[in-house]
Amino acid sequence: MEADVPGTVLKRERTRDAVLELIELRSPGDAIPSERALCSLLGVSRPTVRAAVDELVAAGLLVREHGRGMFVAPAKITQELVAGDRALTVPQAAGAWSSRLLEFTTLQAGARVGRKLRMSPAAEIVYVARLRLVDGAPMAIEHLHIRAELVPGLSAQELESGDLYEHLRTTHGVHVHEAVQAIEPTVVTRAEAKLLDVPELSPALLFERLTSDTAGRPVEYVHSLYRGDRYRIVSRLALGPAAEVAPDREGHHPGIPPGDFAHGDAITSSTRGDIQAGA
């Protein structure tokens, strides 16, 4: 499947979301429809369904059993990492970050994204897929889902230059305040490997983030895939009282493009990341 053909990124994304919807409506150990049945149900080709299922198997959300079918995987154990004050101001990152737009369109939210953004499945969102680069090297693939009514006139140029949250603040009057983010290991698919310039099934970090504004309204749902060979996470945990110190001005919060939240907005995470050159 060609990753640069218009529509293919969105088709894979919607197929993956549809299978995720089936998983989330079931319990661990429950069966999901076969690939053939999913093709008929979703109206997509067998390779598209197989690519989505392969990704979810690799992510540990589905289990294939030879001769029996596909089943919802056992629930994962969640470990929450928080700072002592439950807030973190994100510093500017090292390196020159840029974006290359893969897809940019307006469409209905659908059931799964609608639930996350607390909006009707029929309401419109802006869907963006973009490749994030550092000093010209591909670093991450981001899938953004933004409430369309908040960003009328959002342009491709805003998504390829500068930082998104600054554009939301200055151009659209949207003040992001808090983000809840989950991080887990995964591997890249063939299409993702091509975009990131790494071998298929290379290790990666999957970030899933829900961003809210100062009124507590969900603004954006994002899931991002970061290269495992070039990205690492450093956690700073508050284990007891300490003297107040100035915030570290280097590094990059994983999953959040540099500059985002750089104007004093806080997020509920204590996880910091940086680029591990040559790793």
- Band of residue 77 on the pLDDT scale cut at 50, 70, 90: confident
Q: Each residue of 206-242: pLDDT tens digit?
A: 999 999 999 999 999 999 999 988 887 777 676 777 6
Supply the DSSP string of the chain, one letter for each residue: --TTSTTHHHHHHHHHHHHHHHHHTS-TT-EE--HHHHHHHHT--HHHHHHHHHHHHHTTSEEEETTTEEEEPPPPP------TTS-BPPPPPSS-EEEEEEEEEEEE-HHHHHHHHTS-TTSEEEEEEEEEEETTEEEEEEEEEEEGGG-TT--HHHHHSS-HHHHHHHHH---EEEEEEEEEEEE--HHHHHHHTS-TT-EEEEEEEEEEETTS-EEEEEEEEEETTTEEEEE----S-----PPP---B-TTS-TTTTTTS--BS--EEEEE-TT-
Minimum mean pLDDT range among 120-129, 135-144, 244-253: 244-253
pLDDT above 80 for 27: yes
Between 10 and 276, name the one with better pLDDT.
10
pLDDT per position as a tens digit, 92-114: 456 788 899 999 999 999 999 99
> Which pLDDT value is given to residue 266?
47
